[in-house]
Amino acid sequence: MLENIKMVVSNYSSLFGQGILYTLLLAVIAVTCGTIFGTFVALMKMSKNKVLSTIATAYIELFRNTPLLLQLYIFYFIFPEFGINLSPFAAVSVGLVMNTTAYISEIIRSGIQSVDKGQTEAARSLGLNQAQALMKVVLPQAMKNILPALANEFVTDIKETSLASTFFVGDLMTTYRTINGATYLSLEPLFVVGVIYFALSFTLSKLVAVLERRMGKE
Amino acid sequence: MIRFEHISKNFGHLEVLKDITQHVNENEIVSLIGPSGSGKSTLLRCMNLLEVPTSGHIYLNGEDITAKGVNINLHRQKMGMVFQHFNVFPNMSVEENITMAPILLNKMGKEEAHIKAMNLLDRVGLRDKADVKPTKLSGGQKQRLAIVRALAMEPEVMLFDEPTSALDPEMVGEVLSVIRGLAKTGMTMMIVTHEMGFAREISDRVFFMNDGIIAEEGTPDKIFEAPENARLKDFLGKVL
């Protein structure tokens, strides 16, 4: 077994490297785009406009209460239906972004709502409009809660992207499937992939913890 | 300067303000006193529409700020507000707390805002704190900062919502003396307060609020020496 692990690592090291790259890339895409769209969804949900807030709530609930794998399948199959040709990687990325957006919008919303209402009132009493109060006063304070949670979401996404391997998009689990197909070995490549996932997640979570402590001190 | 007519405010089924009509003249200092839950703070917060009245009109210099299509942000620039819990901005330095709004709202340039901020900080004895974060300030210092933050917008009216209620007793004096100094400049003010001695000393007129109405109003001498309303007599008996 140990022999086989050594063999897998030395013969397929570039494939593992590629897997790490794709896994990180998917997580970066999901969290970056998810943060941008999630901000809009959060603002929609908090809006006084009933239509906007209902749409946002429906979106969030839909994506949080169905399995990610099912969502990925749907995004994989839905584009060809409309004659749109997307690579599996692109289709899966869209699915991940849509899913992450739902989770991140809730992170941003609770971050904003954690800031005392008096801060908004003070800003508005000086003559700032809603958007100015949000940008200058509320969001900078909300960041303290939002940033660590976003970083945690990134760590979660690194693990969740393993589902993307269902569509052979080059992530770490895809690496396992490729090696498994070529060598008929199961456990050995799985162990290697597992160690890599653990190293990525564990290191990043520790970094998040440090970040959190730093921000708490300020 | 401020006139409010037939102001009512409901929170759900609760009638907090009941058809209140009154006015505040230019350079006048009006204190709002009364038991908790009588609607003092709500009435004050209606003046700059932090609380939107359920019905009624508010006129600032003759202009109806409750009318549809009015840009309330412009009117709020003319009405400074000081809150019970200070609400200073912890993400900015003391100086930035003061300069942020005037610069952002194009009231003055950066240099002018800086000079203005320093003068204001001087006035309240906080000049040496300009660069620190307000989290490092005591309650009394925070409230003094909150007052000059509002003054930086050069308001025509100042609204004080229980400015000393959240302070330790030994810090009440420093805040009151800043408000006293402001009174000498002729600033028009509305002050919700539980400090009866202060209300009596500083006010031109006192509104006694009870159960959502102004039950009695008059000069401090009249309110404190010759109260007519039974609830006011009862209230003064308990607090004096």
Asked if B76 lies within 8 A of A124 by C-beta distance, the reply is yes
Asked if A118 lies within 8 A of B89 by C-beta distance, the reply is no
What residues contact residue B159 under an 8 Å CB cut-off, 6+ apart? A125, B44, B47, B48, B79, B80, B81, B82, B189, B190
State how far the Cα of B177 lies from the Cα of A160, in Å rounded to an integer: 61
Which residues of chain A are under the pLDDT cut of 70? 217-218
Q: Are A141 and A115 in contact (CB under 8 A)?
A: yes
Q: What does the pLDDT read at residue A9?
A: 87
Asked if A127 lies within 8 A of B105 by C-beta distance, the reply is yes
Q: Which residues pair with B11 in a beta bridge?
A: B14
Element (H, E) at A28: helix A13-46
Asked if A119 lies within 8 A of B81 by C-beta distance, the reply is no
A13 at interface of B, judged by CB pairs closer than 8 A: no
Q: Which residues pair with B188 in a beta bridge?
A: B157
Assigned token pair, A95: 């699915």
Which region holds residue B61: left if phi is over 0, alpha if psi is between -120 and 50, else beta?
left
- Pairing mode, if any, of strands B29-33 and B205-210? parallel
Q: Are B78 and B156 in contact (CB under 8 A)?
A: yes
Q: Are B71 and B63 in contact (CB under 8 A)?
A: no
What residues contact residue A147 under an 8 Å CB cut-off, 6+ apart? A211, A215
Among partner residues B50, B79, B89, which is closest to A119 by beta-carbon distance? B89
Asked if B83 lies within 8 A of A118 by C-beta distance, the reply is yes
- Kindly report the pTM of this predicted structure: 0.84
Q: Which residues pair with B29 in a beta bridge?
A: B189
CA distances from B130 to A50, B110, B137 (A): 43, 15, 11
- Length, in residues, of chain B: 240
Q: Please report the number of interchain residue pairs, chain A to chain B, with beta-carbon separation below 8 angstroms.
A: 59
Give B19 to chain A, closest Cα distance, Å: 24
- How high does pLDDT run on average in chain B? 95
Give B80 to chain A, closest Cα distance, Å: 7
Q: Are B197 and B223 in contact (CB under 8 A)?
A: no
DSSP state letter for A115 = S
CA distances from B208 to A7, B92, B204, B231 (A): 88, 38, 13, 9
B101 at interface of A, judged by CB pairs closer than 8 A: yes
SS (H, E, C) chain B: CEEEEEEEEEECCEEEEEEEEEEECCCCEEEEECCCCCCHHHHHHHHCCCCCCCEEEEEECCEECCCCCCCHHHHHCCEEEECCCCCCCCCCCHHHHHHHHHHHCCCCCHHHHHHHHHHHHHHCCCHHHCCCCHHHCCHHHHHHHHHHHHHCCCCCEEEEECCCCCCCHHHHHHHHHHHHHHHHCCCEEEEECCCHHHHHHHCCEEEEEECCEEEEEECHHHHHHCCCCHHHHHHHHHHC
DSSP state letter for A12 = S
Collect all residues of chain B within an 8 Å Cβ-Cβ radius of residue A146. none
Taking only the tens place, the pLDDT of each residue in B173-230 is 999 999 999 999 999 999 999 999 999 999 999 999 999 999 999 999 999 999 999 9
Asked if A128 lies within 8 A of B146 by C-beta distance, the reply is no
Collect all residues of chain A within an 8 Å Cβ-Cβ radius of residue B146. 122
State how far the Cα of B89 lies from the Cα of B134, in Å rounded to an integer: 7
Using the CB atoms, write b or e for B60-86: b if 16+ within 10 Å: beeeebbeeeeebbebbbbbbbbbbbb
Asked if A121 lies within 8 A of B149 by C-beta distance, the reply is no
A216: number of Cβ within 10 Å: 9
Nearest CA in chain A to B76: A127
Q: What does the pLDDT read at residue A218?
A: 55
Give A59 to chain B, closest Cα distance, Å: 30
Asked if B85 lies within 8 A of A140 by C-beta distance, the reply is no
State how far the Cα of A167 lies from the Cα of A94, in Å rounded to an integer: 13
Interface confidence, given as ipTM, is 0.93
Give the HSE-up count for residue A55: Cα atoms under 13 Å, Cβ half-sphere.
9
Taking only the tens place, the pLDDT of each residue in B48-67 is 999 999 999 999 999 999 99
Among partner residues B74, B76, B100, which is closest to A136 by beta-carbon distance? B100
B197: number of Cβ within 10 Å: 11
Give B5 to chain A, closest Cα distance, Å: 22
Q: Which residues pair with A13 in a beta bridge?
A: none
Assigned token pair, A83: 């004659």
B79 at interface of A, judged by CB pairs closer than 8 A: yes
Among partner residues A121, A128, A141, which is closest to B101 by beta-carbon distance? A128
Q: Are A218 and A144 in contact (CB under 8 A)?
A: yes
A67 at interface of B, judged by CB pairs closer than 8 A: no
Q: What does the pLDDT read at residue A196?
A: 95
State how far the Cα of B159 lies from the Cα of B161, in Å rounded to an integer: 7
Assigned token pair, A162: 């393993």
The separation between the first and the last C-alpha atoms of chain B, rounded to the nearest angstrom, is 31
Among partner residues B50, B74, B88, which is closest to A127 by beta-carbon distance? B74
B134 at interface of A, judged by CB pairs closer than 8 A: no
Assigned token pair, A211: 């970040």
Q: Which amino acid is at A168?
A: F
Confidence of residue B137 (pLDDT cuts 50, 70, 90): very high
B190 at interface of A, judged by CB pairs closer than 8 A: no
B99 at interface of A, judged by CB pairs closer than 8 A: no
